Amino acid sequence: MRRILLKLSGEALAGPQKSGFDEETVKKVALQVRELADSGFQVGIVIGGGNFWRGRSSENIDRTKADQIGMLATVMNCIYVSEIFRSQGMRTGILTPFVCGSFTELFSKDRAESYFEQGMVVFFAGGTGHPYFSTDTGVVLRAVEVEADVILLAKSIDGVYDDDPNKNPAARKYDQVTIDEVIAKNLQVVDMTASILARENKMPMWVFGLQEENSIVNAVKGRFTGTKVIV
């Protein structure tokens, strides 16, 4: 395994306050990614926008416009997190599927490959660039495009369960589950569009809790305690 794509939820980066940014949480992520980069891994990152905007946060806003606000939220998140990464000694690049002036560069596979080969951490912001597609779909799409070996899904929950563990104390956690089972049982690892895209392109996903100590490094270096979604 050489190239990984890490998906971070906006809510997880917000920490206890649930919105905006928690700098200490982001620094902990940065230190883990730096350890991976120093070990020779190529790391791409997709960040959700839920710490600023969730779906149709207002019923008075058209779906397309609401999704565009969400895309911009992910750009803000990537700019912020990228700067924290830089403060920890890493080189970064931010790619978007639409022009953002001088804030980012326009995504292309060639540009992403160039950044990876230069040892940069590559942020893929702005989702797919289209409404009606989530950052779940965005992360699977980018992982397939740049030929990542695995997607790491760092969530507020420590794996995939057969029911909501927050509501059902008897919910059972999977150590491993197939993407076919995820789709058939609607286990909501990622949304259905992203799940089908992952299945069609044989892209594995590993789900784990971001708040666990050193969880990103542990996932990559053989001390994984979450759920592996296999294809």
**CA-based angle 201:127:159, to the nearest 5?**
65
Tell which residue, 156, 157, 173, 154, has the closest CA to residue 216. 154
CA–CA distances in Å: residue 122 to residues 63, 139, 174: 29, 12, 30
DSSP 8-class letter at 15: G
**CA–CA separation, 105 and 53 (whole Å):** 23
**In the block, which residue shows the tokens 């606000």?**
69
Task: Tell me if 112 sits within 8 A of 95, measured CB to CB.
Answer: yes
Residues 6+ positions from 102 with CB-CB distance below 8 Å? none
Positions at the binding site for UMP = 49, 67, 128-135
Q: At what angle do helices 135-145 and 109-117 cross, to 10 degrees?
A: 70
Positions at the binding site for ATP = 7-10, 50, 54, 161, 164
Positions at the binding site = 7-10, 49-50, 54, 67, 128-135, 161, 164
